[in-house]
Structure 1
Amino acid sequence: MADYIIGLTGGIGSGKTTVANIFANMGIVLVDADIVAREVVSKGSEGLKRITTHLGTIILLEDGNLNRSKLRQIIFDDDKERLWLNALLHPMIRTSMLQQCKDAQSNYVIMVAPLLFENGLDRLVNRTLLVDISPELQKQRTVTRDAVTAQHVENIIGSQASRAEKLSKADDVIDNQGEISALKCKVEALHNLYLKLSSKPE
């Protein structure tokens, strides 16, 4: 059971998934907010039942799964519905993430959350780790990776907490503007620190 939680975050294209996977390769359990957010609205879940009761079966696909694009359209067009959905799902996501952290069989656990600070998830963790790169590099990497426009990436960056704000809040920062080999060394150094902080022998 892991009692020590590291909150891992970083803007789009920063490489937080790469960092998370390096921790995972060293035997650390990952709890990913994006995966949990999908689980709480999966077919047959309480979350999906509540959404269907509230909005009707128009938000279901023929196979009974959530029609994500339809739901996105509804909450994009109506602030009240967006607030209702957030009030329903955020507590479910937090509860599930904390349970998964508690059940984790590693010395500490990494909670991966793109909106760690924005959604107040940093209050649930013992320490925060930010994967940081310049906005220019964010744009360059994301445009190349996702085949989207620079404007699209700028809109996403603009909707998140500023780089300065995240840097001021993070306990630890990994500068990911270099090579993967340098990144692995940085993660290994933090891994050793987190083993000490979680005060359990490896």
Structure 2
Amino acid sequence: MIVGLTGGIGSGKTTVAKMFANFKNVAVYIADVEAKKLMNSSEKIKSALIKTFGDQAYKNNTLNRSFIANIVFKNPEKLTVLNAIVHPEVKKHFQEFVLLNQKASYILYENAILFETKNNLFCDIILVVSAPLKTRIERIILRDNTTEAEIINRMKNQWLEDKKILQSNYIIESLSLEKTQNQVNNIHKILTKKSC
């Protein structure tokens, strides 16, 4: 069983994914982390990014993230091009991960743009992590040392939270760690029973 985990930037998805990763019978795949690894290791992705964004796309053979982010978060067309290069490779990588983890009770697939990339279509169940907009902005400013304007730019490239909630099976409210953990524990019990 594949369980999609999504939510807007700063919602607490990664924290929730780590909580699920503590259960021994769950295999967790974090799309953003794996995409970053692939952008540095896949020659196919590297050459396509250099061809699209120029030699500055990589610095010392490592992805120049700030350079790319600066371009794509201001230009939706360039973001679409970037996604078209990276996402098919991440999808293939995830399919290999699924084959390697067939003994898990379920596989948790964490992806910030699960709906936007239509990856929700191969998920049996979808969880959305939710937090108030103000909280999300505060978290990102602390985490990324960025400005509110840059955050709003990034948010424009994601579906609104309400739209995600409407298409999800479970909502995890990410405000206090203790309450979030309790919700995760309850959902994990339900999912483990469903997978039997």
Q: TM-score w.r.t. structure 1 length?
A: 0.82
Query: Deviation at 1:197?
Result: 1.5
Residues 86-139 of structure 1: per-residue CA shift (max 9 Å, x gap): 323221111111221231242111101011111111112111000111212222
Is the aligned partner of 1:12 residue 2:9?
yes
1:14 is paired with a residue whose SS is coil
In the aligned structure 1, how far is the partner of 2:111 from the partner of 2:172? 15
User: After alignment, is 42-51 or 72-81 more displaced?
Assistant: 72-81
Tell whether the 8 Å contact from 1:40 to 1:46 is kept in structure 2 after alignment: no
User: Highest CA radius of gyration, 1 or 2?
Assistant: 1
Give the structure 2 partner of residue 149 of structure 1.
147
Is the aligned partner of 1:102 residue 2:99?
yes
Counterpart code for 1:8: L
Q: Which runs of 5+ in 1 are unaligned?
A: none
Counterpart code for 1:138: R
- Paired-residue identity, %: 26
Give the structure 2 partner of residue 182 of structure 1.
179
In the aligned structure 2, how far is the partner of 1:77 from the partner of 1:10? 21
Instruction: Give the alignment partner of residue 20 of structure 2, picking from 19, 23, 30.
Output: 23
Q: Cα–Cα, structure 1 residues 183 and 76, in superposed 2: closer, same or farther, change >3 Å? A: closer
Q: Cα–Cα, structure 1 residues 77 and 146, in superposed 2: closer, same or farther, change >3 Å? A: closer
Structure 2 counterparts to residues 24-173 of structure 1, below 5 A: 24-27=21-24, 28-43=26-41, 45-52=43-50, 57-61=55-59, 63-72=60-69, 82-104=79-101, 105-173=103-171
Counterpart code for 2:97: Q
Q: Which runs of 5+ in 2 are unaligned?
A: none
Query: Deviation at 1:192?
Result: 0.8
Query: Deviation at 1:73?
Result: 5.2
Query: Deviation at 1:188?
Result: 0.8
Q: TM-score w.r.t. structure 2 length?
A: 0.84
Tell whether the 8 Å contact from 1:31 to 1:101 is kept in structure 2 after alignment: no
